[in-house]
Amino acid sequence: MSVSTLSADPINQANKPLRIAVLVSGSGSNLQVLIDAMQAGSLPIEIVGVISNREDAYAITRAQDANIPIAVLSHVAKGKRMGIKTFESHANDQLTVWQPDLIVLAGFMRVLSAGFIDNAPAPMINLHPSLLPVYKGLDTHQRAIQAGERHHGCSIHVVTAELDAGAVLTQALLEVAQKDTADSLQARVQKLEHQLLPWTIMLIAKDILNINQLTTQNNGAKSANLPALPLKLWLNG
Ligand code: GAR
């Protein structure tokens, strides 16, 4: 990576920890990896809050155990479905209070509107379980197996209005084994995610990946000031 990839307007001046808000919907194993890294001091982050759109998400317990502020904005509270606009309005209020430098979607399963994404108080990245641009959306492991893919993995990309289509920052990949099922592949890819997410956040915290620049340009790979993206990791999966 060349020196020119280091930016003039760092997101994280004076070595302050990067303030992160995490949006979740499920188990929160990726959130746990970030909590562990924060507590161990191995990642310069402060998780300033967690938003869950499901009241039964185990991620809530993980955040509570770590004394991290949590907002549960359930999409089916008291039997009534919360529309996406209402969810987004509450989420935006909460994020404005927490003032994150970065918003991380880690297993967050609601589709956000262009208005919310464009006006969010910080850049937003998403962890997706495929080697984008292939297999956007759901059932990525099953679809990769059905297509006979030799390689599969996960990606972290900038969130834009188009689903799973923003600039891909990093990817981790593995070889699909003949005996792999959708379940085994999901488990193997999750192991990669648990390495890729902190690794990517480290690159952002250290301003090696300038997320502000990427969000503005919306296609970092075309910029002369940025490394060729995505950065690819071949990990033990
Ligand atoms: C992760 O495997 C992530 O790739 C996937 O949800 C899982 C959440 O796991 N995300 C998506 O499918 C987003 N489209 P976790 O709750 O244990 O971190």
194 is catalytic: no
Q: Whose CA is nearest to atom 6 of ligand 1?
A: 107
If you take atom 15 of ligand 1, which residue's CA is the nearest one? 28
CB within 8 A of 78, min separation 6: which ones? Answer: none
Q: How far, in Å, is the centroid of ligand 1 from the Cα of 70?
A: 18
What is the rounded average pLDDT for all residues in the chain?
88
- For residue 203, the CA-to-ligand 1 centroid distance in Å is 21
Q: Take atom 9 of ligand 1 and give the residue whose Cα is closest.
A: 107
Out of 3.40.50.170, 3.40.1440.10, 3.50.50.60, 3.40.470.10, the CATH code matching 2-218 is: 3.40.50.170
Which pLDDT score is estimated for 236? 60
Q: Which residues of the chain have pLDDT under 50?
A: 1-10, 12, 218-224
Residues having CB within 6 Å of any atom of ligand 1: 24, 26-30, 59, 106-107, 127-129, 154, 190, 193
pLDDT of residue 79: 64
The predicted pLDDT at position 15 comes to 75
Strands of 18-149 (E only): list them: 18-24, 45-52, 70-72, 102-105, 124-128
Of 83, 78, 21, nearest to 51 (Cα)? 21
Residue 227: per-residue pLDDT: 64
Q: What is the per-residue pLDDT for 25?
A: 97
List 51's β-bridge partners, or say none: 23, 71
pLDDT score of 4: 32
Count of residues for the chain? 237
pLDDT tens, 15-49?
799 999 999 999 999 999 999 999 999 999 999 99
Q: Could you tell me the residue ranges of all domains in the chain?
A: 2-218
pLDDT, residue 221, reads: 43
Q: Which residues contact 193 (CB under 8 A, 6 or more apart)?
A: 30, 127, 129, 154, 172
- Cβ neighbours around 16 below 10 Å, total: 11
CA of 188 to the centre of ligand 1 (A): 13
How confident is the model at residue 78, as a pLDDT? 66
Amino acid at 100: P
Among the listed residues 75, 90, 128, 151, the single catalytic one is 128
- CA dist., res. 221 & res. 226, Å (int): 7
Angstrom distances, CA of residue 149 to CA of 82, 167, 179, 187, 188: 38, 23, 13, 17, 15
Tell me, in angstroms, the distance from the centre of ligand 1 to residue 90's CA: 23
pLDDT of residue 74: 86
Q: Ligand 1 pocket test: which of 190, 191, 194 has the largest number of ligand atoms within 8 Å of its C-beta?
A: 190
